[in-house]
Structure formats: C-alpha cells, structure tokens
Amino acid sequence: MHQVSSSSQSADAGGVPFLERHQFLIYRLFSLAGLVPVGAFLVVHLLTNASVLGGPEVFQSRVDMIHSLGPLLPVVEWAFIFLPMLFHAAVGMAIIAGGLPNVGSYTYSGNIRYTLQRVTGMIAFAFILWHIWQLHAMGKPLGGGAFDPHHAASTAATALRPMLVAVLYAIGVLSAVYHLANGLWSLGVTWGIWTSPAAMRRASWLSVAVGVALGSAGLGGLAGMRMVDVEEAKQVEERMAEAREMLSGKAAAQAAVVPVEDGSQGE
C-alpha cells in the first residue's frame, strides 16, 4: 500500500512531493476522518432530519438541542464537521486526480464499487456545497441560508418543496449514504479488520445493511419534510418559541429575585 519508490525515498529531503512522503499517514487520517467525525456526523444528521416524521415539534426540539450550543456551535461545526470534511475531500480529490494511488482495497480498477466510491464522493462534494449554501446561515450573504433554526420544519419544508430540489436532494443523500456504507468496507480493508475473502464478503453485507438503514432514514427524512403542512408547522414553532421565551424569562426573573431574597434573609 505504501508505494513510495526507492528513488523517491532517497530523494526524501529533496524533490519528493509532500503528499508522497507522508502518504501512509495521510491515508490513515483520510480514512479515519471519513468514519469519525464525518461519517458519524452524517448518521446523526440523517437521523435528526428523519425525526420530522414524528411531527414538526419533534424536529424543532432536536434542532433546539443542537442550537442550545449557542456561540459554541460554529466552533463545533468547523472543528468536527467542516475542516475534517474538507481534509477528506481534498485527499479524495487528489486520489481521484491520480496524485495519489488508491488505497488498494479493490482488486481491479474495473470494479464497479471502486468507480462508484469515487463518483459518489464527487456528487456528495457538489451536493454538500449546494446544501450548505441553500440552508446554512453561511449561505445568507450569497442569497441562500433559507433554514431558520427557530422555524425548523417550516423553513426546511419550504426549501425542499420544488420537485427538482427534492430529486437533487435524493440523489445527493443517496450518494453520501452509498459512499459511507461502501467506504466502511474499504476502511476495514485499509485498517486490516477484514483480510480473508470470506470476511470481506461478510463485511459487504454489513455495508449493505448500513446502506439500507441510512438510505431509509435519509429518504424518510426527505419525504417527511415534504409532507409537512407549512402553516401548521409555523404555528407549532411559534408556540414552542413562546414557551422557550417564557421559560427563559422565568429563569431570568428567578435569577433576579434570588439576591433580593438573600438580602432580606440577611436583615
């Protein structure tokens, strides 16, 4: 797997490209990033979205939980999602462009899974960029950022209403799911978890099971968003926002009252 030629090794300090010199470590980090945190995030994200099947109030409470991180949220997003994903995508692009040989998990280059892994990686990349622009607050200066965390289901449902958007989402989500599920198999080869042909066959079934479960969650979430009654969802979200405000108002009032009580006790 570590295919650095002897001539390039001898030229180590000199003309050997950085990627080639650190190929083994870069592959391991690339592989690990695909599983944790990027793959783990994809699982959590799709399950959160699928919670809309329980109604806009369930989805809103999940979103509230995430946004309760407040100013820490962008830090968490960059540290655990965007930067690892950019790193994985950059190395993936280098592999696809031929700058680095593939990790050697596949036996021959005509293998359909080998090709699909690369194709779905590229589709997922384009989809994720578009998805971030369309829904994430970072897309706002560029005319996107349609998702409002205080009106989670109604704004997501509105953004996904056009049929073309829904079809593109289905393609993007299924590509990301295939990429992760099949990637689990090649990751097991990369790390030497399954080495015999029989173990690799069993691992293929694991990939299929993960792919079907995650694909169902992804498409279920998408269908759930499209079934949302936007007006009804807005009313639910307004009521939940009012309840949140009341609770935080009460908490603030209690906090203000405590010193007075303390003071009177002290008299």
Between 133 and 230, name the residue whose CB sits nearer to ligand HEM: 133
Q: Which residues of 9-44 are buried (b: 16+ CB within 10 A; e: fewer)?
A: eeeeeeebeeebbebeebbeebbbbbeebbbeebee
Q: Which of 125, 169, 178, 194 binds ligand HEM (CB under 6 A)?
A: 125
The residues, ordered by sequence, that sit 6+ positions from 67 with a Cβ below 8 Å of its Cβ are 73, 149
103 binds ligand HEM (CB under 6 A): yes
Between 58 and 122, name the residue whose CB sits nearer to ligand HEM: 122
Between 103 and 219, name the residue whose CB sits nearer to ligand HEM: 103
Judged by CB under 6 A, the chain residues 211 through 230 that form the site for ligand HEM are none
- Residue with tokens 């080495």, as numbered in its chain: 195
Instruction: Assess contact for 182 and 167: CB atoms under 8 A.
Output: no
Q: Which of 23, 31, 60, 134 binds ligand HEM (CB under 6 A)?
A: 31
Q: Which of 56, 84, 92, 218 binds ligand HEM (CB under 6 A)?
A: 92
Tokens of 102: 């593939």
Separation between Cα atoms, residue 149 and residue 64, nearest integer Å: 7
- Residue with tokens 């300090």, as numbered in its chain: 13
Tokens of 116: 């699909």
Q: Which of 89, 152, 217, 228 binds ligand HEM (CB under 6 A)?
A: 89
Q: How far is the CB of 227 from ligand HEM (least distance, A)?
A: 25
Q: How far is the CB of 255 from ligand HEM (least distance, A)?
A: 42
Between 143 and 197, name the residue whose CB sits nearer to ligand HEM: 197
59 binds ligand HEM (CB under 6 A): no
49 binds ligand HEM (CB under 6 A): no
Q: Which of 61, 102, 150, 159 binds ligand HEM (CB under 6 A)?
A: 102
131 binds ligand HEM (CB under 6 A): no
Q: Which of 190, 217, 233, 236 binds ligand HEM (CB under 6 A)?
A: 190
Judged by CB under 6 A, the chain residues 157 through 176 that form the site for ligand HEM are 176
- Residue with tokens 């950085």, as numbered in its chain: 18
Which spans in the chain are helix H?
6-10, 18-21, 23-33, 40-50, 56-67, 72-77, 83-96, 112-135, 152-159, 163-190, 197-227, 230-266
Separation between Cα atoms, residue 68 and residue 61, nearest integer Å: 10
Residues at the interface with ligand HEM (CB under 6 A)? 31, 34-35, 38-39, 42, 88-89, 92-93, 95-96, 102-103, 105, 117-118, 121-122, 124-125, 176, 179-180, 183-184, 186-187, 190
